C-alpha cells in the first residue's frame, strides 16, 4: 500500500477563503502531482514537481499555487476559493527510473465551496 497522505479528507468552505490542501509521501519519490477529478471525468493535471524547488503548471488552468520545499511535502493553496473550485483533488507521487510513471495516489480531498 502506498504511503501518501492527504489532509483534510473533506472540506466545506465559503467563497473568498484561502485554503491549503496538504499532501505528504514517505516513499522518497522525486516526482509529485496534483490532479483535479470530477465525477465521470478524466483526471486533469493541475501542478507537478520534479523535486525540491521545482514546480510546473499542468494542463488545467488553475488559480492555485504549489510549493516543494521538502521532498516529502507538496501542498496546494487556493488564495481565494470559488464555487468553481468544488471538486476532488488527488495528490500522487512517482519514482524516477524502475517502473517509471506508475503513480501512487493519496485518498483525495473533497472540496465544496459555497
Partner 1 sequence: QKEVEQDPGPLSVPEGAIVSLNCTYSNSAFQYFMWYRQYSRKGPELLMYTYSSGNKEDGRFTAQVDKSSKYISLFIRDSQPSDSATYLCALNTGGFKTIFGAGTRLFVKA
Residue closer to partner 1 (CB basis): 41 or 69: 41
Part in contact with partner 1 (CB under 8 A); list of ranges 11-19, 61-69, 72-80, 101-109: 101-109
Q: Which of 48, 66, 76, 81: binder of partner 1 (CB under 8 A)? A: 48
Q: Does 43 bind partner 1 (CB under 8 A)?
A: yes
Decide: residue 23, CB within 10 A, 0-12 exposed, 13-18 middle, 19+ buried: buried
Residue with cell 493553496: 77
If the CB atoms of residues 17 and 86 are measured against partner 1, the closer one turns out to be 86
Q: Is 69 in the site for partner 1 (CB under 8 A)?
A: no
Amino acid at each position: 500500500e502506498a504511503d501518501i497522505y492527504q489532509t483534510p479528507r473533506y472540506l466545506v468552505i465559503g467563497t473568498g477563503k484561502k485554503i491549503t490542501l496538504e499532501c505528504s509521501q514517505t516513499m522518497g519519490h522525486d516526482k509529485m502531482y496534483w490532479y483535479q477529478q470530477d465525477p465521470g471525468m478524466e483526471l486533469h493535471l493541475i501542478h507537478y514537481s520534479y523535486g525540491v524547488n521545482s514546480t510546473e503548471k499542468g494542463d488545467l488552468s488553475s488559480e492555485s499555487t504549489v510549493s516543494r520545499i521538502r521532498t516529502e511535502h507538496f501542498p496546494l493553496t487556493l488564495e481565494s476559493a470559488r464555487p468553481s473550485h468544488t471538486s476532488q483533488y488527488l495528490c500522487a507521487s512517482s519514482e524516477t527510473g524502475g517502473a517509471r510513471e506508475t503513480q501512487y495516489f493519496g485518498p483525495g480531498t473533497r472540496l465544496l465551496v459555497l
